[in-house]
Homo-oligomer: A and B are copies of this chain.
Amino acid sequence: MDQKFSSLPDVQSLVDGRNIPIDRVGVRGLTVPLTVASVKGPQPTVAEVSMYVGLPADKRGTHMSRFVSLIADDPEPLSSGMMRSLLERMLELLGAEEGYIDIRCPFFVTKTSPVSGLKSLMNYKVRFTAERRRGVTRILQEITAPVTSLCPCSREISDYGAHNQRSRITIAVELDGELSLEEQIRIAETSASCELWSRLKRNDEKYVTEYAYDHPKFVEDIVRDTAKQLNAEPRVLAYHTEAENFESIHNHSAYAQIERDKRLG
C-alpha cells in the first residue's frame, strides 16, 4: 500500500452512532513558554495548559493538533482578557459551542524586606480558567500565595511562644473590570499572620517574628479575613478562597474554604 497524504482517511470526522455527547475533550498537560501580564509589563514564564471543547453526540472525534497550534501561536500576555479571546478563538477553530481552558504558571513579584529594605523576588502560583457552558462565559483569575500563620490558641494557652507554620492562601475571582495579579496577591498576604520574603536580614527576621506573634490567626480567620476584603472589592463579582496551614505540630494540614457569588444576593 503506497498511501498518499491527500487520501489518508480522516477517522476523527466520522459520524458516531452511540448518541452520547462529550462534555470536554482535548489536550491536557501541554507545557509551553509564554508571558503573563504583570503591573510592570509582560513577564516570561512556563505554563501548563489544558484545552477542551464539547463534542456533539454525532461527531466521533475532535482535532487534537489544533489546540496545540492555538496556544503556540498566541503572542499576547496571559490575563483575564487574553483568556476571553483565547476561548473565543478556540471555539471558532474547533467549531464548538462549549469549551474550557486551564493555564497554570509560576509568577514573580519583587518585594522589599520590611526593615532593611532588601529587594528580592517572591514566587507565587497563578492560574486562569475560561469556560463557555450553556451560553455563559466565566473567566476565573486565581493566585496562590505562601504566608505565615500563627495559632491564636497556642499563643493564648502557652506561657511563651506560639506554634506557627507556612500556609498557602488561594483566591480565585470572577471579575468585573481588571484586578492585577499583584493586587490579588496583596489581598492574600494581608489576610495572614505575616507575609513572606525570599531574603531577610536579622532585623527583618525580628520584625516578621514579632509581627506574626502580634497577628495570630486560625485557618478560619485567614479565609474570613480574605473573604472580608473580597466582599469589599467592587471589581470582584464572585470568589472562591481557601487556606491550608501545614501545621508545625501535626503531620496533616488545617484547611478552610469560602465561596461566594455576589450576584446571587
Contact = CB atoms under 8 A, between A and B. Distances in A.
A46 B35 CA distance: 12
Nearest to A153: B11
A112 interface: no
Q: How many copies does the complex hold?
A: 4
Given A120-B72, A161-B150, A209-B154, A255 B201 contact: no
A254 B108 CA distance: 21
Interface in A177-200: 194, 196-200
Contacts of A154: 205-206, 209
Given A68-B199, A161-B162, A210-B158, A205 B252 contact: no
A173 B223 CA distance: 31
A123 B32 contact: yes
A41 to B, nearest CB: 13
A246 B198 contact: no
Interface residues of A, number: 106
Given A60-B220, A161-B162, A5 B248 contact: no
Nearest to A45: B46
A203 B164 contact: no
A218 interface: yes
Interface string A207-218: 011101100001
A226 B35 CA distance: 35
Contacts of A249: 148, 194, 196-197, 200, 205, 208-209
Question: A-B pairs with the 7 shortest C-beta distances?
Answer: A161-B213, A44-B44, A5-B203, A28-B255, A25-B256, A158-B209, A31-B123
30 contacts: A5-B115, A11-B156, A12-B218, A25-B223, A27-B255, A28-B254, A32-B121, A46-B106, A55-B256, A60-B218, A61-B218, A68-B198, A72-B121, A148-B163, A148-B248, A154-B205, A157-B203, A158-B206, A158-B213, A159-B206, A159-B210, A161-B164, A161-B210, A161-B212, A163-B208, A164-B164, A164-B165, A164-B248, A165-B246, A212-B248
